[in-house]
Structure 1
Amino acid sequence: MPNRITETYDALCDLIIRPERHDTYDEKQLGPKVFSLATTNDDSSSRHYCRKDLVVYNSRGLMLRCSHFEPVESQRRTERMPCVIYCHGNCGSRIDALPSVEVLLPFGFVAVLLITVFAFDFSGSGLSEGEYVSLGFYEKQDVGDVVTYLMGTKRVSKLGLWGRSMGAATSIIYSSLDPCISAVVTDSPFTSLHELIHEMVLGIQSWIPRAFIAAGVSMVGRTIQTRAGFDIELNTPIRYASRCTAPILMGHGVQDTFIRISHSEKLLKEYGGSPKTLVEMEGGHNSSRPESFYNQVGEFFHYWLVWKDNFVNAFKIVEQLHDVDIITQT
């Protein structure tokens, strides 16, 4: 029994800090460097975009593989544009950002030209350097380094974060530390790594004596500290939630058995920003999300990053692009 328990906890540690890594993809899977997407309005037009692949070095000296999806220069109407940074899950990579690109770039009347998407592989994930993931502890630093890069280009106005699972928890933590984040979308975040590990241990308690549960969580924590160099007790998004000020749209699958929806419910209650909304969706942790959720995300980001506080300028761009008169009803 002791050997079996030890093996089980070692497997849990791997699931947390060294899950199956998506490091076999080719950048060709990100699609062509120049591409077109149809707008979501009814004018049957399409706009042209480009993908810039680049490298950002994080504060620990590790190389992060990144991609920035933007309009081609000839269709770029403003020098500074809002940008949404996509933060993938613990088994993911920037490949996971492709649905967000398809949603955000062509969304709405002319938002096709008003927003960009930045995707990257966290350290320890995908094609980036690093051995382990930390479910938010080091990932928040990666986000900060990406933000520093983007703001240094002088081509970004507002910033949004869209994260899933590990990336969702990271987005909450980082947004509490940086008031420059104007909007946040999370899909399946967890309240604390300690609570998540506790639930994972409980999930295999059918043959593990209950007396071993608390000791098991401590064992996992010590192993993670030794191998990956961080304290699980410090990886607690719910402690940061009350400090957040950006509006947030949360999504969570009601059948999620890996990170239960109760995590999002608790985070929503503590979250300091406003407005704050939780969308309950059918599906589990890795299920595809319904089109209705993506539409909500598109509307959310474009309101807070494009239209809010910039209503007049946005409609000036509408006139330029569509050569129509803008009628304001009073």
Structure 2
Amino acid sequence: MFDGYCRQIMQPNRVMYNKSDLECGFPRQDFQLQGLQCSLYKCNQYTQSCILYLHGYNGSRLEAVQYAPLACKNDFDFCSFDFQAAGQSLGDFVTFGLKEEENIAVVVRHLKEKYLHVILWGRSMGATTALMYTQKNENIKCLVLDSPFLVLEDVVINLIKLKLHTPDIINKGLYLLIRRSIAKLFQFQINKVQLPLNLNITCPMLLLSSKQDSLIPQYHFDTIFKGYQGLKRQVVLQCNHNEQRSSEIVQTIIAFIQAMTPQTRFSPTKFPNRLLGDLDEEKYIATGIKIKQKIMRNQSVSSHNKNSAQIQKEKALMQLSNLK
């Protein structure tokens, strides 16, 4: 019975879904990379930026479908995939970020052949894995981290507490038994899953955390935020770990990504044989600015709808700038 509980931790039930469940109203391309099942949603513009969504423990790429439309409407392509041993991807068991970091590397390598900028947006285990990856790689434009954990041990102890309602001294003893059993069954050391206190990452980061999170202790969020080296912002949520994110929160996330990612476009007829990743970043951005300035000089006053959309965007960015 005890081994069975350990197997549940390492081999959670996979989310079952059909390909039709992945539809969101925008064109979708499904593809496979080394046993990982992936989906790419295309916006209606030619874009140099792609958001890569990383689902949480016991999740799948189905988790990302609710976010894809808003990302695409704001001229970002949006990609998601099933981590190993999740959804429809291959794999025997989850590793809470250690092997999943390699999954990210495979997908990012593929996306960088097509996009100049890749943004990582992770939830829970996906957020922690995003930090693991970006700690070792400098090819990410910015990070959105929704409820990352610092040390897996605390998460497992809280899982035991929520399931059995036992005191902490018993929970810690049970954790040691679980750790030994998992090491024996899967040759995997769960105590090795932890982030460094000082994160050597310089790209911009938005951290979403909640004091009402019953699974991840508050000090995890505080330590990650304090130890982060780059530009950082924090949004404090009023919800538990697995609660759905509101439309306002999702809009704030997209506004942050917009503010941190230059959105310039190119014409496919002008660069017929080139991928976005082949363009020189500085020259491309400068060219985009010149084109935009020329358009602004020649265009008449924008329509009421465009003005309204701009006001909403500026309002969102103003709210974002006030976050602490």
> After the TM superposition, which parts of structure 1 deviate over 6 Å for at least 4 consecutive aligned residues?
318-321
RMSD, aligned α-carbons? 2.9
1:267 match: 224
The reply to whether residue 159 of structure 1 matches residue 107 of structure 2 is: no
Deviation of 1:168 after TM superposition, in Å, equals: 1.0
Within a 5 Å distance, the mapping from 1:160-179 to structure 2 comes to 160-179=119-138
Tell me, yes or no, if the aligned pair for 2:154 and 2:217 is still in contact at 8 Å: no
CA contact (8 A) 1:173 1:240 kept: no
Which residue type is aligned with residue 233 of structure 1? N
Q: Are the counterparts in 1 of residues 53 and 81 from structure 2 also a CA contact under 8 Å?
A: yes
Task: Find out whether 1:221 has 2:179 as its counterpart.
Answer: yes
Q: What is the identity, as a one-letter code, of the residue corresponding to 2:257?
A: F
Alignment of 1:191-230 (within 5 A): 191-203=150-162, 207=166, 210=169, 212-230=170-188
Matching residue within 277, 299, 311 for 1:324? 299
Could you tell me which residue of structure 2 aligns to residue 21 of structure 1?
14
Alignment partner, residue 247 of structure 2: 291
Q: Tell me the equivalent position of 2:53.
A: 86
Q: Whole-Å Cα distance in 2 between the matches of residues 319 and 96 of structure 1?
A: 41
Instruction: Find 1:145's aligned residue among 101, 106, 130.
Output: 106
The answer to which of 96-105 and 301-310 deviates more is: 301-310
Equivalent in the alignment of 2:77: 116
TM-superposed CA distance for 1:104, in Å, is 1.4
SS of 1:283 mapped into structure 2: coil
Q: CA deviation at 1:20?
A: 2.5
Question: Cα distance, 1:30 vs. partner?
Answer: 0.8
Q: Does 1:70 align with 2:42?
A: yes
Residue in 1 that maps onto 2:214: 257
- Conservation of the 8 A alpha-carbon contact between 2:111 and 2:118: no
- Kept in 2, the 8 Å contact 1:188–1:252? The answer is yes
Listed as ranges, the matches of 1:50-69 within 5 Å are: 50-57=27-34, 63-69=35-41
Paired position in structure 2 for 1:235: 193
Partner of residue 136 from structure 1, selected from 97, 110, 115: 97
Q: Whole-Å Cα distance in 1 between the matches of residues 172 and 228 of structure 2?
A: 28
Q: Secondary structure at the match of 1:306?
A: coil
What 5-or-longer segments of structure 1 have no aligned partner?
1-5, 36-48, 58-62
CA distance 1:214–1:55, change in 2 (3 Å):
same
Residues 207 and 291 (structure 1 numbering): CA distance in 2 closer, same or farther, change over 3 Å?
closer
Deviation at 1:203, TM superposition (A): 4.7
Distance 1:316 1:271 in 2: 36
**Distance of 2:198 and 2:55 partners within structure 1:** 19
Could you tell me whether the CA contact under 8 Å between 1:184 and 1:249 is conserved in 2?
A: yes
Q: How high is the sequence identity, in percent, across the aligned residues?
A: 25
Matches of 2:121 and 2:250, distance apart in 1: 11
1:91-106 paired onto structure 2 within 5 Å: 91-106=58-73
Shift of 1:182: 1.4
- Which residue type is aligned with residue 300 of structure 1? F
Q: Displacement, 1:213? A: 4.1
Taking structure 2 as the reference length, what is the TM-score of the superposition? 0.77
Alignment length, in residue pairs?
283
